[in-house]
């Protein structure tokens, strides 16, 4: 169910019946020159909607504010300053909780969000909320990964690659410009190799200054349809596991009761 398509009474019933809201997190950023800027949020939201048809949940409207500072050197990138971004994300989660959801799944559709979401997950212990936050760390089952490995033609990627280009071909084929796929694969330039393994903000740019990681020439609609099925099936299973989970909410209640004890409240 899509939040924005429900009437108010339908929404109230959906909250009671499912208890779970799924927020797909994408961004607006360059994807080489052959995929649309909205690739991550378009694909993420589509997969969330398909998953919620298989395992009922309410899908939050398309959301595309995330960490994508490393693409600000390209036209069309859209993001918010770090403090505002965290406030917006927290505000969105709180508003979902205010509407009665006790469980929220944050489905990340953008690799560059991973540290941000890790911090957001940890921030759940800052103060007690009426909801629990769940962030899946996989996009498909290990068996699904084997199925994908068996048909993929390239062994590397990460951005606008065979995998991601196929996903857009499998969801929004009219938005893919296969004739604009670069002739040369996007391989890491390794410009930080002189350092021991290091994290800096510029690391992605140091490897991929054209925002292309992989080789999309072998992407296809058929591969995309398989990926969409594997990823939406997995997310549906994940939503079912979240619905059944009683442990995380109980542990959070226990944790915050001890926090109160410490402060003598």
Report, in Å, the least distance between residue 52 CB and Zn ion: 21
Long-range CB pairs of 168-171, under 8 A, 24+ apart, other chains included: 168/35, 168/36, 168/39, 168/42, 168/43, 168/224, 169/219, 169/220, 169/221, 169/223, 169/224, 170/221, 170/223, 170/224, 170/225, 170/226, 170/227, 170/228, 171/42, 171/43, 171/46, 171/47, 171/224, 171/228
Find the angle CA(52)-CA(57)-CA(59) to the nearest 5 degrees.
75
Radius of gyration in angstroms for the set of CA atoms belonging to the chain, rounded to a whole number: 20
162 vs 156: CA distance, rounded Å: 9
* Pick 124 or 230: Cβ nearer Zn ion: 230
Region from 12-20, 39-47, 168-176, 189-197 binding Zn ion, contact rule CB under 5 A: 39-47
> With CB under 5 A as the contact rule, which of the stretches 4-12, 33-41, 52-60, 75-83 interacts with Zn ion?
33-41
The smaller minimum CB distance to Zn ion, of residues 55 and 164, is found at 164
Q: Would you say 97 or 112 has its CB closer to Zn ion?
A: 112
Stretch that binds Zn ion, among 40-48, 95-103, 241-249, 251-259 (CB under 5 A): 40-48
Instruction: Identify which of residues 40 and 162 has a Cβ nearer to Zn ion in the complex.
Output: 40
163 phi/psi in degrees, rounded to 5: -65, -55
Assess 40 for contact with Zn ion (CB under 5 A): yes
Q: Could you tell me the smallest distance in angstroms from the CB atom of residue 77 to Zn ion?
A: 12
Count of chain residues binding Zn ion (CB under 5 A): 2
Name the residue with the smallest CB distance to Zn ion. 40
> How many C-beta atoms surround the C-beta of residue 85 within 10 A?
17
Nearer to Zn ion, 161 or 242 (CB): 161
Nearest distance from residue 71's CB to Zn ion, in Å?
10
Closer by beta carbon to Zn ion, 40 or else 55: 40
Q: 227 or 242: whose CB is closer to Zn ion?
A: 227
Piece in contact with Zn ion (CB under 5 A), picked from 32-40, 65-73, 130-138, 209-217: 32-40
From 16-24, 34-42, 61-69, 204-212, give the range in contact with Zn ion by CB under 5 A. 34-42
CB of 39 vs Zn ion, minimal distance in Å:
5
Residue whose structure tokens are 């939201």: 45
| Minimum distance, C-beta of residue 160 to Zn ion, in the bound complex (Å) | 7
Q: Which residues are at the interface with Zn ion (CB under 5 A)?
A: 39-40
């Amino acid at each position: 169910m899509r939040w924005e398509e429900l009437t108010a009474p339908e929404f109230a019933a959906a909250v009671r019946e499912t208890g779970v809201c799924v927020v797909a997190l994408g961004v607006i950023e360059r994807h080489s020159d052959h995929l649309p800027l909205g690739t991550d949020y378009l694909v993420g939201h589509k997969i969330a909607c398909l998953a919620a048809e298989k395992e009922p949940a309410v899908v939050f409207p398309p959301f595309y504010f995330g960490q994508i500072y490393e693409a600000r050197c390209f036209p069309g990138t859209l993001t918010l300053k770090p403090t505002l971004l965290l406030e917006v994300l927290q505000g969105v989660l709180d508003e979902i909780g205010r509407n009665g959801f006790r469980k929220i799944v944050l489905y990340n559709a953008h690799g560059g969000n991973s540290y941000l979401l890790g911090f957001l997950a940890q921030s759940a212990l800052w103060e007690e909320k009426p909801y629990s936050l769940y962030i899946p760390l996989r996009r498909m089952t290990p068996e699904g990964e084997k199925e994908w490995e068996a048909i993929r033609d390239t062994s590397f990627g990460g951005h606008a690659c065979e995998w991601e280009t196929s996903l857009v071909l499998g969801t929004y084929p009219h938005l893919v410009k296969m004739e604009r796929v670069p002739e040369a694969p996007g391989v890491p330039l390794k410009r930080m190799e002189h350092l021991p393994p290091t994290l800096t903000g510029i690391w992605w740019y140091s490897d991929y200054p054209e925002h292309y990681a992989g080789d999309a020439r072998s992407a296809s609609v058929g591969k995309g349809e398989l990926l969409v099925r594997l990823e939406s099936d997995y997310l549906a299973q994940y939503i079912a596991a979240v619905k059944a989970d009683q442990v995380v909410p109980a542990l959070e209640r226990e944790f915050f009761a001890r926090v109160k004890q410490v402060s003598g409240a």
